[in-house]
Every structure is written in structure tokens, then in C-alpha cells.
Amino acid sequence: MPELPEVENFKNYIDETSLHQKIAAIQIAAPELLVNTTIDILRDTLKGNVFEDTFRHGKFLFIRLLKNGFLMLHFGMTGDLLYYTPDKKYPKVYVLLIQFENGRNLAFSDQRRLGKIGLVKNVESFIKDRGYGKDALKISLEEFIALFQKRRIAIKTALMNQKIVAGVGNEFSDEILFQSKVHPESKSNVLPIEKLKEIYQHMLAILQEAIEQNADRSKLEHYFFLDHRKEGLKCPECKGDTKLRTIGGRSSYFCPSCQKLYT
DNA sequence: GAAGTTGTTTATTA
DNA sequence: CTAATAAACAACTT
């Protein structure tokens, strides 16, 4: 599922393929993904326009346009990008297709259609108005500790809340807490400052390495819970059984003996 | 074929 | 007002 590292990877992909080319036409196959815009407005805005550069905040990707602000993309659970040269094998299934004047296409596919497509005039006010927290890679240790010390919810739920810190989802939250040896149901506000610091440091380290590996899960196999999401597996540390529990409405995997519960 | 899956939004309650 | 909680949505897998 696209979390922060995957979205960073999409950003790099667009930077490498789709910048500085005039858009000849677009196709919109899933109008229900549009937020605060319409098919006509999106088409009028993008046609003849140019992708200039990109900016990521949490799991949101913003593409700056030569004219008229930014194109906003959110990848939901199944969003994906493919830049390709149309031939007989295509078009593949897409929700949005960008056709460049050079003949290449950029397809945004989203099998389960939980993604979002929109136009944004000002990225900072978009983030502020919707209440999203600082990006997980940009938040300072002091800000992180202050925010998590005043939340009484489970630490896993807090980590996944985009309005506290933006970018961490279900799978990375499990891995961060396993590395930090903290039980996901621990109350955020009772964790010692030293533990919050560890969580912060592991969050940065894991996200950064995932980005360096282009979010390729096959290169992240040493992260146990990123790759082994099943109940009853042997914990690589203590050889005990891993557990599954629904926390914050999401399936959470953890090692009950290695990960200490703070209440 | 009913239940499980995740990121986000919305509704409800404290 | 803020914070916490639960449910809803999409569409595909088990």
C-alpha cells in the first residue's frame, strides 16, 4: 500500500519521466476520484500545460504546473503510475491518462479507486485547511515529542493519524513499533520521552531506507513486519509467536514479548 | 459468499 | 472548541 516511501518513489518517477513536456490531451476514466474540480475544469487546466516540478507531503503528491497551480494526486490503497509509449498492448486500465505532445503517456491507475485527483492553488493552505500534520521526514524531534505526549490514544493509532504526523500508514507503523520494542496499544501520552525519541529515530531511519531502496519490498526483507504480515510466525528476536490484533480499526502485527506495553 | 483488507472522511459521543 | 471512536467507502482476495 502506498505510504510515504512509495509516494516519494512516485515523485521521483514523475521527475524522471514527465517534466517539461507539453500536455496534448487528457482522458478521465473515473470522475468520482475528482475532488473540488470537474472533468471540464481539469481538462481545460491541463491541456497545453506543463509539469514543472513535484512536491510531496505525507502521502500526497503535488505536481506544479507551468500555469494555474498544482495537480494533486493521492494514491489510496492501489494507486500506481506508468509512463509508456502507446502501442497495441495499450491503453491499460487507468483512472487518469496524460497524453504528452511527444507521444508518450502517463497513466494513473487505481484498481480500488480510493485515490484522489484534484487541483490546488496553494499547497501550504491546502495542507493547513485540511489539518494535516508535518511530514514524517520533516517534523523535528521536539515537535514529535510534544504532539505524542498529549495524545491518549494507542501509539499505533497516533502514528497513523495524518493530522498528527503525515506519511506513516499501517504497515510502516507496525515495523517502527517493533524496532522500538513498543507494544502498539501503548498509550501515546504515557510513553517515556526516551521511548518517543526512539520511535522518532526508527521512523526516520526506516522511511529513509525504504526511499533509498525505491520502496522495493524485496529489498526491505530484513524489516520483519514489513514483509511478514501473518499471525503465529516466529519473532526473529525472541522466537515467540507474533500476534494479530485490530487496533484503530486496522490489522496490527506485533511480538507481545519483545514489544512492551505501557499503560 | 461472507469476511477481510487500507487510507481517508464523516458522523457521533465525551 | 478539541479529542476519541466507530463506521463507511471502494473492489478485489480468501
Q: CB of A152 under 7 A from strand C? A: yes
Closest-CA residue to A100 (of A29, A25, A40): A25
Percent of all residues in chain A with a pLDDT value above 90, rounded to a whole number? 75
pLDDT bucket at A145, cuts 50 / 70 / 90: very high
Residues A247 and A175 in one domain: yes
- CATH number of the domain to which A21 belongs: 3.20.190.10
Residues A189 and A219 in one domain: yes
Angle value at C-alpha A3, between A108 and A249, nearest 5 degrees? 115
Distance of A94 CA from C13 C1′ (whole Å): 21
Residues A74 and A166 in one domain: no
Distance of A146 CA from B8 C1′ (whole Å): 24
Q: Which of residues 128-147 of A touch strand B (CB under 7 A)?
A: 130
Residue A259 pLDDT exceeds 80:
yes
Distance of A76 CA from C11 C1′ (whole Å): 13
Q: CB of A154 under 7 A from strand C? A: yes
Angle value at C-alpha A58, between A32 and A144, nearest 5 degrees? 140
Residue A72 pLDDT exceeds 80:
yes
Distance of A107 CA from C2 C1′ (whole Å): 41
Closest-CA residue to A139 (of A203, A89, A191, A94): A203
Q: What dihedral angle (degrees, nearest 10) is formed by the CA atoms of A142, A182, A245, A164? A: 0
Residue A188 pLDDT exceeds 70:
yes
Residues A234 and A218 in one domain: yes
Per-residue model confidence as pLDDT tens digits over A150-170? 999 999 999 999 999 999 999
Q: What is the mean pLDDT of chain A?
A: 91
Residue A6 pLDDT exceeds 70:
yes
Residue A18 pLDDT exceeds 70:
yes
The mean pLDDT of A194-207, rounded to a whole number, is 95
The predicted structure's pLDDT at residue A62: 96
The predicted structure's pLDDT at residue A113: 86
Q: Which residue is nearest to nucleotide B7 (CA to C1')?
A: A76
Residue A133 pLDDT exceeds 80:
yes
The predicted structure's pLDDT at residue A228: 79
Domain count, chain A: 2
* C-alpha cell read off for A23: 500536455
Where a domain ends, among A72, A94, A129? A129
Q: CB of A112 under 7 A from strand C? A: yes
Percent of all residues in chain A with a pLDDT value above 70, rounded to a whole number? 98
Rounded CA gap, A39 and A37, in Å? 7
Q: Which residue is nearest to nucleotide C3 (CA to C1')?
A: A151
The mean pLDDT of A82-93, rounded to a whole number, is 76
In a domain, A263, yes or no: no
Residue A207 pLDDT exceeds 70:
yes
The mean pLDDT of A58-83, rounded to a whole number, is 94
- CATH number of the domain to which A179 belongs: 1.10.8.50
Residue A60 is given by DSSP the state E
